[in-house]
Structure 1
């Protein structure tokens, strides 16, 4: 039942927004009573916290699994993390949009918990960039934390426009992004 509440809420929050969705609408969509909702969640805000926390913790686990692989260089790990984020659009798009759009509705205590996980994700990315610089794979001329924010900006907003079933595959978009990150768009062969 808890998972069904979460799934139904993700659908409604994505379509209508967190503020505009009531607990009554959630339970009506499920055909249950408010008592069923309140058995699992103290409030709608606690439900939002769980949705956001589940989303970022899953990404962190996937990222850390990639980073722990000692058989891969930094460039490969960068590609795999970018691909992981793009691939998650197919299954987690609505959760991602809720995470980025609705997180602001969390109370300070819950917001800080989510921000700490988000910060850990960013810091893991930055360590990868720093390691790539130290290993000579990435340019030393760029500030690692600015590169990290740039990568996050490029990948995070893909949840709003990328269609995994469209003309460009998840793999191809990840390749485009990593090429853009590593090489830019300037034609070095031309003028």
Structure 2
């Protein structure tokens, strides 16, 4: 009777190993040890550590883009509510695919092989979608930005990406509350930043004191 596949366990173990020790320090031997198989048995599933990294990061990336496409199709909601749903989606994916989603943020950008090139396109699509959403908010009078939608989009995404340094999943309700806290912070800036920026334009520049 064939043994059950250890592939899901192996991918989960790889995500944990990459998250805790970094890609460079992780080994196929240490990943295999997490699921109770030898390094040689790992090669029954993958041909290299890079191939295993690809398996770890692919699912959260695909899940986020699928949710993003769904939100872009929702033209009946206000821009602010779609932004709230986007932030809730991001936090939920961080939780559902923990720690794989953070492994993506930490490591994928360093790979320039053709296998990982499609992730660069995914990142561009994500930023472009957020930028388009914020630009729509400005056009509809919902947002007042201090700068361009491109800058604001990168500020919002940067806030979410920084969660890799401090976020630990709790439960669905607690994670949703956290997402709404982050949304409130982002929305406050998007609503008022333009007015605040106009006030600061008249303030004189003060050079920092020299040490």
Q: TM-score, normalised by structure 2?
A: 0.77
1:52 maps to what in 2?
57
Match among 1, 8, 29 for residue 13 of structure 2: 8
1:154 counterpart = 2:159: yes
Q: Per-residue displacement from partner, 1:57-86 (whole Å, max 9, x unpaired)?
A: 111111221221232121111000111112
| Structure 1 SS opposite 2:178 | helix
Instruction: Give yes or no for the alignment of 1:144 onto 2:149.
Output: yes
Give deviations 1:30-51, integer Å, cap 9, x for gaps.
Answer: 2334443223222101111222
Task: Answer yes or no: is 1:79 the counterpart of 2:96.
Answer: no
Name the CA shift for 1:115/1:18 in 2 (closer, same or farther; >3 Å).
Answer: same
Cross-structure match for 2:128 = 123
- The Cα of 1:146 is off from its aligned counterpart by 0.3
Q: After TM superposition, which residue ranges in structure 1, 4 or more long, deviate above 6 angstroms?
A: none
1:5 and 1:26 in contact (8 A); partners too: yes
Q: Which has the higher contact order (CA 8 A, sep 6+)?
A: 1
The structure with more radius of gyration:
2
Q: 1:141 to 1:164 in 2, by over 3 A?
A: same
TM-score by length of 1: 0.84
SS at match of 1:39: coil
Separation of aligned partners in 2, 1:165 and 1:3 = 22
Alpha-carbon deviation of 1:107?
A: 4.2
Deviation at 1:96, TM superposition (A): 2.2
The answer to whether the 8 A contact 1:45-1:105 is kept is: no
Unpaired runs of at least 5, structure 1:
none
Distance in 2, matches of 1:44 and 1:107, equals 15
Instruction: Choose which of 24, 27, 33 in structure 2 pairs with 1:22.
Output: 27
> Cα 1:105–1:181, aligned 2, differ >3 Å: closer, same or farther?
closer
| CA–CA distance in structure 2, aligned partners of residues 43 and 133 of structure 1 | 47
For 2:29 and 2:112, the matched residues in 1 are separated by 21
Q: Deviation at 1:172? A: 3.1
Q: Report the secondary structure of 1:137's partner residue.
A: coil
Number of equivalences: 186
Q: Shift of the alpha carbon at 1:140?
A: 5.7
Partner Cα distance (2:179, 2:35) in 1: 37
Q: CA RMSD in A?
A: 2.6
Which has the larger displacement, 66-75 or 144-153?
A: 66-75
Gaps spanning 5+ residues in structure 2: where?
1-5, 196-211
